[in-house]
Amino acid sequence: MAKVYSIIFTLVIILSSCTINSSVNYTTSVPLAGNAWMNGDEAVPKRTRFGKEGILNWTEQDKVVRIYFRTEHSGKIYLGLRAKVKDGKSEIKLSFKGKDQVFIIKDTTWQNINAGVFNIEKPGYHVVELHGMKKTGDSYGQFKDLLIGGEACINSVYYVKDSFYWGRRGPSVHLNYQLPEEAGNIEYFYNEITVPEGEDVLGSYFMANGFAQGYFGIQVNSPSERRILFSVWSPYKTDNPKEIPEDQRISMLKKGERVHTGKFGNEGSGGQSYLKYNWKACVKYRFLLKASPSVNNSTDYTAWFFDPEVKDWQLIASFRRPKTSTYIKRPHSFLENFMTQMGNTSRMAYYGNQWVCNTEGKWYKLTKAKFTADATARKDARLDYAGGVHEGKFFMKNCGFFSERVAFDQYFEREQQGKQPEIDFRNLK
């Protein structure tokens, strides 16, 4: 009789730890390649965790795999994994909503491993954590998909299905400032940015002064480096700057002290400049952009940054764009993450006191903006974005899989706060 009890007890343990290839009806496969992150990877900016087929090979014991998805319903949810091992076997703990489930992976062919039944009490984003407990082989296994099903997932699961590079970067959001009709030709565009404490996240670009042909703002490039970045696109459409014909290249007219200049590609091509500058959270930074027609059907673009430490406007650079004759068009700001390994971390900033000045020297305040988003948001791959008005300033927030969502393509209007900039254009460097 003692032997019978021992056999029954062993079976109970096995059934409670995992069941392989059972009749659970999984309705969705969430690919880890676009929806999973590992802790500590932010220290290795160009590290790629996933192979060409989107397979995660997990070797380090101290790493935690976090998989994100969103539902619009509450209720019962079934979780599983599409996984295998190269050799040996591994013991994995899955954690979800305060409940843990341990299972064994030992098959060298792909298996659907059932991790258990859980409950979702509130719609929104959810995270599944995987912890490596033990392994006898070189890795904890190879993982391809998170499998989900149940009433919480009916017609309401959001995750990155394709374009994994952009999905892992997360949604970009924009503020498109509305110009007064009577403003005429806009020559100068002024803006201010304040990044709150803890929101100056690695990989962030807080773009202040965007225009139809380029952008100007501040970045967090590494744990030890930050930049003020100003770029102008070439009129020639290409992602490879080497392909730009000579008569359509951006030329540099002047640059400020310690400013680096060169070419850029991959997202259009053109002239780029940046100043390594250790800007800080909770400090208000001011930006000024000028655009005016120049010789031979060209336009000159110049960017200045107000350094609060020296209390003066610093020249970043002045570029000439050929085959263009214009003043400032489409003034806007945006917020983006440019490092895929930081797509699961949120960041935000306040954008305030926007002004433009026309060719007659008259200033106009900008108090209304249209909130828009990029393709990643528009196809519902990522819903972790927000914008609005707070204490007289616009704000934008993205990434991090927060559940509060603000609809894009709506207009925000801030209170008419802030003083008109006092700038002597004749004395700008």
Q: Average of pLDDT values for 345-371?
A: 97
Strand partners, 65: 38, 130
Distance CA 362, CA 186 (A): 9
Q: Is 135 helix (H, G, I), strand (E, B) or coil?
A: strand
Distance CA 200, CA 349 (A): 8
Token pair for residue 406? 């603000």
Strand partners, 85: none
In the chain, pLDDT over 90 holds for what percent of residues? 81
Alpha helices by DSSP H, 18-112: 32-35
Q: Is 3 helix (H, G, I), strand (E, B) or coil?
A: helix
Residues 212-236 have pLDDT tens digits of 999 999 999 999 999 999 999 998 8
Distance CA 340, CA 165 (A): 7
Q: How far apart are the first and last CA of the chain?
A: 93
Write down the domain spans for the chain.
Answer: 18-159, 167-427
pLDDT at res. 269 = 75
Distance CA 328, CA 287 (A): 14
Q: Is 241 helix (H, G, I), strand (E, B) or coil?
A: helix
The DSSP call for residue 243 is: G
Distance CA 200, CA 133 (A): 34
Residues 264-315 have pLDDT tens digits of 666 667 889 999 999 999 999 999 999 999 999 999 999 999 999 999 999 9
* Angstrom distances, CA of residue 96 to CA of 88, 126, 188, 208: 26, 8, 52, 39
Q: What's the pTM?
A: 0.90
Distance CA 196, CA 173 (A): 18
Positive or negative, the CA dihedral 248, 254, 258, 259 is negative
Phi-psi region of 289 (alpha: psi -120 to 50; beta: other; left: phi over 0): beta
What architecture does CATH give domain 18-159? Sandwich (2.60)
Closest-CA residue to 215 (of 183, 197, 193):
193
